[in-house]
Amino acid sequence: MSKSHQKDSGGDNGFSRRSFLKGVGTGVISTAVLPGVVSAGKYAEKIQSPQEWVTSDAITLNVNGENRRVTVESRATLVSVLRNELNLTGTKNGCGTGECGACTVLIDGEPAYSCLTLAMDAVGRKIVTIEGLAENGQLSPVQQAFLEYDGYQCGYCTPGQIMAAEGLLAKNPNPSTEEIKRGMSGNLCRCAAYQHIFISVAEAAKKGGR
Amino acid sequence: MKNFAFVRARSVKEAVLSLGTDWNEAAVMGGGTDLIGEMKNYVHTPNKVVNLRAVPDLKYIKQDGNLIKIGALTSIAAVETDTLIKSNFAALSKAASLVASPQLRNMGTIAGNICQRPRCWYYRDSGIECLRKGGRLCYAMVGENKYHAVLGGLGCYIVHPSDTAVSFTAFDAKIKIAHPDGEKEVNIEEFFVLPEDDLNRENILKPNEIVTEISVPIPENGTKSTFIKVQERGVWDFAVAGVAVSLKLDGNRCDKARIVLGAAAPIPWRSLDAEKELEGRTINEETAQRAADASVYNNMPMTGNAYKVQLFKNIVKRAILELV
Ligand SMILES: Cc1cc2nc3c(=O)[nH]c(=O)nc-3n(C[C@H](O)[C@H](O)[C@H](O)COP(=O)(O)OP(=O)(O)OC[C@H]3O[C@@H](n4cnc5c(N)ncnc54)[C@H](O)[C@@H]3O)c2cc1C
Ligand code: SF4
């Protein structure tokens, strides 16, 4: 179990309340208690008052090793911010409900659906997208294998497939065929290029995976 | 999705105090995989989301005496792969391994899994005000109810969607709940509630209460367990029928049995009648069949889900025989 993101996202890391406070022009911070809360005790000063509620804010996202500053609404999903604010359009928005895998990115090293992740909730965590894999113009072994072994047809699901494979091989560098199928089972391919996808992942593993 | 205030709670206390006393006003977020879906569908439109990610020390699986304790924010994937859980609670790691998809198991928390909201398609449609949402009709009763309850429905016929909750029930887990004045612990069977007790909620939590830990007693020596889930496709699918069976065995003689059905009722359904058929008896084809028949005692299928009754009998029998 990784404990790393607990450490990273503690407190207000990368998160500014100031911009919001300036926006609503209130000087009142702290001590205010939510209505209806009587026994707040020693935590009273820590509870955010309604004036402090942040419905949009400037946050810092760590994407592909770079800190990117961006102003987002609370409701913005990570996939929408990657694509529309950071111009990282490699990550695809498919179903929007966590049932296709096209939006898969790595968060703290693990494959995750960016359509069911709020950008606000990704603050302080390491996000890797398809754009972050190649180094010095050199494709990653997984990307190279998908290219060589035709791990796609139309290509729409491919970035998500590749990110799932990256996450799988990082954890399990020598997966069996069964483990590959299971590891890739959170990604649909409507062209049904599955056989080639599995071969690509197996070949990438042979070449040292990540 | 309607916009909302995003609150990063830094302690359990801060989380429960920030939540307040109105369900419509605020929602607590673990991994967000269910809550964001509800908000995208406008089924739930809170003004405030209280995020637990920054709360320290809620992510662990550890042994404490004869208990295994699981922190609320522990991922489903961690529950699936943990060796303490695998060796003591096979039915739990198996249930966790069958939840949703690899990505969703990485993202979803164990507390979020047992607190997730129903999947009834009328419930998930924001245009429909059914009984559970304060309306006057259960649309499933007269409409499409292929996946609905065959047991325990009264007024509302949802099935509880969590796979892990079924296994937790088979191991007599306890749920630790934090509230503004402190914390309490309840048996999992007191945690979930039937529609006859509360039409609108699936468990006893109040708006300003959160689950902080699930603890599970290590079973007595000689206990074996398994979990079977029937789903229409191999991934992403909620159970059509599920069962967790835990048996304390002396040779083939059963000293103690827990048989819990998933996707049968609005709560994980402990089948006392089936357990009684096994306890004190030798397990064989015949006793397993009798327990299987008893497992759905008093079932009341709806217009479209009677097929589930036989399905439950089959998997209960198969699960029992798998263990001897
Ligand atoms: C496509 C898809 C398929 C799925 N298939 C399955 C499946 O086969 N089996 C299965 O079991 N599940 C399945 N799920 C459900 C999934 O496992 C849950 O969404 C997940 O476990 C919820 O965890 P979370 O941390 O993301 O919860 P969240 O979305 O953060 O929260 C879920 C609910 O619980 C509440 N909550 C969260 N944490 C707490 C807490 N600590 N105390 C009190 N309340 C809390 C929230 O307010 C919310 O109402 C599926 C989900 C999707 C999207
Ligand atoms: S089964 Fe429950 S949630 Fe579904 S329509 Fe009926 S009352 Fe609503």
Q: What is the CATH number of the domain that holds A204?
A: 1.10.150.120
Q: Are A44 and B24 in contact (CB under 8 A)?
A: no
Element (H, E) at B186: strand B182-187
Number of domains comprising chain A: 3
- Residue A168 sits in the same domain as residue A192: yes
A3 touching B, CB under 8 A? yes
Contact at CB, A9 and B53, closer than 8 angstroms: yes
- Residue A104 sits in the same domain as residue A138: no
Q: Is the pLDDT of residue B20 over 70?
A: yes
- Which ligand has an atom closest to residue B15 CA? 1
Q: Domain range for residue A145?
A: 134-210
- Residue A59 sits in the same domain as residue A125: yes
Model confidence over B103-146: pLDDT tens digits? 999 999 999 999 999 999 999 999 999 999 999 999 999 999 99
Domain C-terminal end among A77, A107, A132 = A132
Q: In terms of Cα–Cα distance, which of A74, A75, A64, A65 is closest to A15?
A: A74
Q: Are strands A126-128 and A56-63 parallel, antiparallel or unpaired?
A: parallel
> What amino acid is encoded at A2 in this protein?
S
A113 touching B, CB under 8 A? yes
* CATH code where residue A100 lies: 3.10.20.30
Q: Are B82 and B67 in contact (CB under 8 A)?
A: no
Q: What is the DSSP string of B231-289?
A: -SSSSSPPPSEEEEEEEEEETTEEEEEEEEEESSSSS-EE-HHHHHHHTTSB-SHHHHH
Q: What is the DSSP string of B274-318?
A: HHHHHTTSB-SHHHHHHHHHHHTTT----SS-THHHHHHHHHHHH
The percent of residues above 70 in pLDDT, for chain B, comes to 100
Q: Which fold has domain B61-115+164-217?
A: 3.30.465
Model confidence over A83-133: pLDDT tens digits? 999 999 999 999 999 999 999 999 999 999 999 999 999 999 999 999 999
Q: In terms of Cα–Cα distance, which of B83, B116, B76 is closest to B99?
A: B76
Q: Is the pLDDT of residue A204 over 90?
A: yes
Length of chain B (residues)? 324
What does pTM read for this prediction? 0.92
Q: Are B2 and B39 in contact (CB under 8 A)?
A: yes
For chain B, domain boundaries: 61-115+164-217, 223-322
Q: How far apart are CA B290 and CA B296, in angstroms?
A: 11
Domain C-terminal end among A79, A99, A132 = A132
Chain-centroid distance of CA B311 in Å reads: 19
- Range with the poorest average pLDDT among A33-37, B133-137, B180-184: A33-37
Q: How far apart are CA A119 and CA A129, in angstroms?
A: 14
CA dihedral in degrees (A152, A154, A160, A164; nearest 10)? -10
Tell whether ligand 1 has an atom less than 6 A from the beta carbon of residue B90.
Answer: no
Contact at CB, B102 and A183, closer than 8 angstroms: yes
Q: Give Cβ neighbours of residue B182 (< 8 Å, ≥ 6 apart).
A: none
Does the structural domain B223-322 have CATH classification 3.10.110.10?
no
- Residue A126 sits in the same domain as residue A141: no
Mutate which of A12, A31, A33, A43 to disrupt the B interface (most B C-beta within 10 Å)? A43
Q: Are B257 and B245 in contact (CB under 8 A)?
A: yes
Q: What is the DSSP string of A25-56?
A: T----SS---TT----GGGGGGSPPGGG--SE
Contact at CB, B33 and A6, closer than 8 angstroms: no
Which residue, by CA, sits nearest to atom 27 of ligand 1?
A: B112
What is the torsional sign of CA A180, A181, A187, A193? positive
